[in-house]
Chains A and B, each alone.
Chain A
Amino acid sequence: MSTVNVIPLKVSGSENQIEHHPAEIGVWLFVFADMCIFAMYFGVFVWEKKLYPAMFEEGQETLSTEFGGLNTVVLLISSFFAAKAVHSARMLNIDAYRRFIKLTMLSGLAFLCVKFLEYSDKFSAGFDIATNEFYRNYFAFTGFHLLHVILGLSFLGWLLISVKTTEQLKGNVKASEGVGLYWHMVDLLWVVLFSLIYLVP
Chain B
Amino acid sequence: MTDRKPLIIVAVVSAVMTTILYAGGMFYVSGFLPPPSPALSQLEVASFYQQNHTAIITGLTMAFVGTGFMLPLCVIGSVFMAEVEEGFPYFSVMQALCALATVIFTALPNFIWMTAAFRVDRSPELINLLHDLGWIMWATPSWGFAFQLICVAIVGLKDKRPKPFIPRWMSYLALWVAVGVAPTPLVPFFVEAGPFAWNGLFTFWVAFFSPILWIAILFVIIVINIRNNEQDNHQGDLAGSQL
Contacts and interface: CB of A to CB of B under 8 A. Distances in A.
A24 B168 contact: yes
Given A1-B241, A3-B160, A30-B176, A129 B189 contact: yes
Contacts of B164: 1-2
A54 interface: no
Q: Tell me which of B161, B162, B170, B179 has the highest count of chain A C-beta atoms within 10 A of its own C-beta.
A: B179
A136 B196 CA distance: 9
B196 A140 contact: yes
B190 interface: yes
Contact of A40 (B162, B171, B189, B206): B206
Contacts of B167: 1
Interface string B155-175: 000011110100111111101
B173 A44 contact: no
A6 to B, nearest CB: 13
Given A34-B179, A130-B189, A2 B162 contact: yes
Interface residues of A, number: 24
A143 B160 CA distance: 36
A77 interface: no
B141 interface: no
Contacts of B170: 26
Given A2-B161, A3-B160, A136 B190 contact: yes
B89 interface: no
B182 interface: yes
A141 to B, nearest CB: 10
B172 A30 contact: yes
A25 interface: yes
Given A129-B186, A130-B189, A37 B180 contact: yes
B160 A2 contact: yes
B186 A24 contact: no
A140 B183 contact: yes
A40 B172 contact: no
Contact of B172 (A2, A26, A37): A26
Contact of A29 (B169, B179, B190, B206): B169
A40 B14 CA distance: 33
A144 B159 CA distance: 30
Contacts of A140: 183, 186, 195-196
B153 to A, nearest CB: 10
B194 interface: yes
Contacts of B241: 1-2
Which 6 residue pairs of A and B lie closest in terms of their CB atoms, listed nearest first?
A26-B172, A26-B169, A30-B172, A33-B176, A30-B176, A44-B195
Interface of A: 1-3, 24-27, 29-30, 33-34, 37, 40-41, 44, 129-130, 133, 136, 140, 144, 147-148, 151
Given A2-B161, A37-B179, A147-B182, 10 more contacts: A1-B168, A24-B172, A26-B169, A26-B172, A33-B173, A37-B206, A40-B201, A136-B189, A140-B195, A144-B183
